Chain A
């Protein structure tokens, strides 16, 4: 086996992992901080892709779509939290799960009604069309951009959580919301913002995936499954876990595709099964945590 082929394969795995990381991150943050398993995450990913496409065609630029869609859909996520999910805090974990599960059907059918069930083309931004010669092979410019953007978003997120006052409140709120309220922090506002952030990340994943796939109402269902697998491998609620597991899954899929391509989809579930057997709480999860 050629070394340059293996490096190229590794690179496609990282690009694949980058989108997985972004989507799994939103899911794991919302679970870790709010204890809500958001089954509408995949549908919101899809809505993000449609919003990005719509905004891009409205403004004539992919970049506006990329910037505005996550903000807009993030705000929509806050509305969902404020109107629906907020009422279910303190109840069994199944309640928000069922609510968001139902919501995902509403969102998918809503998009079918508005945009139709056919796929819609999402053009790659003109600056990123084509391939870059890496010396050992060609790689799509757009996928390199995705890797870079995800790295920037991760860095920004890490800085915000670790180095700012708001990040401190968020981390403390995840650990003990009652004490935070006693200390005079309006924890409801923190949860609202966190849910909005999680949904915004799903939407960002959707916009980023748009130019790589055809955009259609069902595109989120597969993504939801993948995001759950990544979250479970990394440990529910763990941000570092989501990043490590996302890249791990992406690279595993890619490497398996090289040797046994028909196994490429199964490998992530196999990986999840192995992790669950050896470390049931996930790679970076906390044992016995039920949120």
Chain B
């Protein structure tokens, strides 16, 4: 456990005083060489903790996006550098690291964060300092007017989009639905999304249980969930919580009684507990490598990733790292550099297609309009190989209709 010595508590006042002093010292010699200066992108992500597997894939793919740009000569002749920092899945840690990235490392923009609570902390820091932040964590709140700024972009899917797509594939009018959700921002947002979608479809809510974030044991929730006798159980949690919750639900014979549905089905967690446990579980996704059969962009992304990572395939959260950094770099390319206002303008006008088809940032809330996949975990005997995890049930093309309207989010229209 780091003591205050290794991670100094920086109050805003001391940080500003100390850092602006050192910035003043460094400012002079910098002016003359601005043109050939490298472009630095800060990348906070939880390399330690329960989301470490997803975070590591994000880093690999972000590095790939940077490498591809550098291989083609960089942006306006300037090389791009990725500065990866471990946010330890902690909002305070993320804010400190982001502040350091901005004030000390002088990054030109920040991309990253995986947890919905942590991204809001990063966003607080970046928007207060007028630095562009492309979030690749799932969240509804970051789109809402109170957390939004002109520097805030959201490349990831949001809970509203995934839950609606999953509900459309799995729920029918009159079905009974029960919920098990993690008791923090992500779980709450997913639960809200599912309830909104099930109400629209006409399915009935028979109960909901909030579980502590990061719990290892879910057995104590199972008898009550079974006694609710639902047709569908929606498990809204992330990372190892998803693996453990589904595994223990299956141990209790839940699948014999009801279908298990998750807002986002995780590639790494499916690997962590095996095909038998996940068999038949349905969930949303931003990306799945198997999309290459129907998308040229996916095939190209897979090929580039394989070449850079010894034949491995990219995962869902990895793809966010690639498209988050990739879309930012494409906008910088258009803007001809790192001038913040020009890059913001370029991002707002950007049409990009990096992993799965056309995407663009909606003007009012900077949410990336994109396709949503609905996947079903395959039975072991139906798998063609070790990587053949999911069947694609639906690939809903991106449209503004998937999103909550600008006025609902509190933006002026």
Tell me which of B223, B269, B274 contacts A5 (CB under 8 A). Answer: B223
B226 touches A16 (CB 8 A): no
A5-B224, A262-B212 known; A218 vs B271 contact (CB < 8 Å): no
A2-B227, A213-B244, A264-B220 known; A138 vs B215 contact (CB < 8 Å): no
| Chain B residues, Cβ within 8 Å of A140 | 219, 251-253
Asked if A265 is an interface residue, CB under 8 A from chain B, the answer is yes
- Per-residue CB contact flags for chain A residues 35-74 toward chain B (1 = under 8 Å, else 0) read 0000000000000000000000000000000000000000
Which residue of A has the minimal Cβ distance to B244?
A: A213
Asked if A28 is an interface residue, CB under 8 A from chain B, the answer is no
A5-B227, A261-B209, A262-B212 known; A214 vs B244 contact (CB < 8 Å): yes
Interface residues of B in 347-384 (CB under 8 A from A): none
CB B53 to nearest CB in A, in angstroms, measures 5
| Chain A residues, Cβ within 8 Å of B91 | none
| Chain A residues, Cβ within 8 Å of B52 | 117, 218
Tell me which of B56, B252, B274 contacts A138 (CB under 8 A). Answer: B252
A119 touches B253 (CB 8 A): no
Asked if A237 is an interface residue, CB under 8 A from chain B, the answer is no
B217 touches A16 (CB 8 A): yes
Determine chain B's interface SS by DSSP, over half rule: helix
Asked if A137 is an interface residue, CB under 8 A from chain B, the answer is yes
A16 touches B211 (CB 8 A): no
| Chain A residues, Cβ within 8 Å of B209 | 261
How far apart are the CA atoms of A121 and B209 in the complex, in Å?
Answer: 26
Most buried by A among B53, B224, B271: B224
A131 touches B183 (CB 8 A): no
B243 touches A12 (CB 8 A): no
Asked if B290 is an interface residue, CB under 8 A from chain A, the answer is no
How far apart are the CA atoms of A8 and B226 in the complex, in Å?
Answer: 11
Among listed A89-97, A154-162, A252-260, A276-284, interface-contacting one: A252-260
B252 touches A119 (CB 8 A): no
B215 touches A264 (CB 8 A): yes
Interface residues of B in 216-257 (CB under 8 A from A): 216-217, 219-224, 226-227, 240, 243-244, 247-248, 251-253
B268 touches A118 (CB 8 A): yes
Tell me which of B210, B214, B227 contacts A222 (CB under 8 A). Answer: B214
Interface residues of A in 110-152 (CB under 8 A from B): 117-121, 123-124, 130-131, 137-140, 142-143
| Chain B residues, Cβ within 8 Å of A258 | 220, 223-224
| Chain B residues, Cβ within 8 Å of A15 | 219
Tell me which of A2, A118, A212, A253 contacts B247 (CB under 8 A). Answer: A212
- Per-residue CB contact flags for chain B residues 276-303 toward chain A (1 = under 8 Å, else 0) read 1100000000000000000000000000
How far apart are the CA atoms of A12 and B217 in the complex, in Å?
Answer: 10
A16-B220, A123-B274, A212-B247 known; A265 vs B227 contact (CB < 8 Å): no
| Chain A residues, Cβ within 8 Å of B210 | 261-262
B220 touches A254 (CB 8 A): yes
Tell me which of A120, A253, A262 contacts B220 (CB under 8 A). Answer: A253
Which residue of B has the minimal Cβ distance to A257?
A: B220
B212 touches A265 (CB 8 A): yes
| Chain A residues, Cβ within 8 Å of B53 | 117-119
B253 touches A131 (CB 8 A): yes
CB B11 to nearest CB in A, in angstroms, measures 30
A117-B52, A119-B272, A262-B211 known; A213 vs B247 contact (CB < 8 Å): yes
B223 touches A8 (CB 8 A): yes
CB B149 to nearest CB in A, in angstroms, measures 32
Interface size class of B (residues with CB under 8 A): 35 or more
| Chain A residues, Cβ within 8 Å of B49 | 218
Asked if B402 is an interface residue, CB under 8 A from chain A, the answer is no
CB A121 to nearest CB in B, in angstroms, measures 4
CB A202 to nearest CB in B, in angstroms, measures 16
- Per-residue CB contact flags for chain A residues 209-246 toward chain B (1 = under 8 Å, else 0) read 00011101011001100000000000000000000000
Tell me which of B214, B223, B251, B269 contacts A137 (CB under 8 A). Answer: B223
B227 touches A212 (CB 8 A): no
A131-B252, A261-B210 known; A118 vs B219 contact (CB < 8 Å): no
CB B252 to nearest CB in A, in angstroms, measures 6
| Chain B residues, Cβ within 8 Å of A2 | 227
Which residue of B has the minimal Cβ distance to A222?
A: B216
Asked if B203 is an interface residue, CB under 8 A from chain A, the answer is no
How far apart are the CA atoms of A131 and B250 in the complex, in Å?
Answer: 10
| Chain B residues, Cβ within 8 Å of A137 | 223, 226-227
Tell me which of A214, A218, A263 contacts B243 (CB under 8 A). Answer: A214
User: Which A residues are closer than 8 A to B by beta carbons?
Assistant: 2, 5, 8-9, 12-13, 15-16, 117-121, 123-124, 130-131, 137-140, 142-143, 212-214, 216, 218-219, 222-223, 253-254, 257-258, 261-266
What are 22 A-B pairs with beta-carbon distances under 8 A? A5-B227, A15-B219, A16-B220, A117-B53, A118-B271, A119-B243, A119-B272, A119-B273, A121-B277, A124-B251, A139-B252, A140-B219, A140-B252, A143-B219, A214-B272, A223-B216, A253-B217, A257-B221, A258-B223, A261-B209, A264-B211, A265-B215
In the complex, given contacts A214-B247, A214-B273, what are 14 additional A-B residue pairs having Cβ atoms less than 8 angstroms apart? Answer: A119-B53, A119-B271, A120-B272, A121-B271, A138-B252, A138-B253, A212-B217, A212-B219, A218-B52, A253-B217, A254-B220, A258-B224, A262-B210, A264-B215
